[in-house]
Structure 1
Amino acid sequence: MSTSSHLYPMSSGDDQHSYIHNSSYQKVAISGAEEKTRRCILEKLDLQLSSDFSTFRIADFGCSTGPNTFHVVQSIIDTVKSRHFKENNEHSLVPLEFQVFFNDHTTNDFNTLFKTQPPSSEREYFSVGVPGSFYGRVLPRNSIHIGHTSYTTHWLSKAPEHVCDKKSIAWNKNYIQCNNLLEEVTKAYKVQFIEDMDAFLDARGEELVPGGLMTIIGECLPDGVSLYETWQGFVMDTIGDCLMDMAKSGITSEEKIDVFSLPVYFPQFSELKGEIERNGSFTIELMETTSHPLEGMALTNEFITSTFRAFLTTIIEKHFGDGVVDELFDRLAKKLYKHPIDFEMRKKLVVYYIVLKRK
Structure 2
Amino acid sequence: MTDGTDRPHSPQPDPASGSGGGYGFPPGRIPGGYGYPQPGQSGPHPATNPYQPEPPTGQGSGAQGFGPPQAQPPLGAEPFPPAPAAPDALGAPGAAAQPDWQAMADRTEAQRRKRRMLTIGIGALAVVLVAGGAAFFVLNGSDDPADKPVTASSGSPSPSGPAQSPDPKTPEDDSPTVPGEPNLLRDRSGKMGIALGPGASLGELAKRTEVRFKGTADSYAQGAEAAVDVTKSFSVSARAYNVAETGSRMAVSQGDGDSYSFELGFEVVNGKKAWVFRVQTGDKGQAATAQQVVVDNVDTTRTWALLTGTYDAEKKTIALWVDDKPGGQAQVSGIWAGPGPLQLGRARHHGIWSAAWDGPLDHIRIYDQVLGKEQITGLKNNKPDKKTRATHQWLI
TM-score, length-normalised on structure 1? 0.21
Higher relative contact order (CA 8 A, sep 6+): 1
Bigger strand fraction:
2
TM-score, length-normalised on structure 2? 0.19
Bigger helix fraction:
1
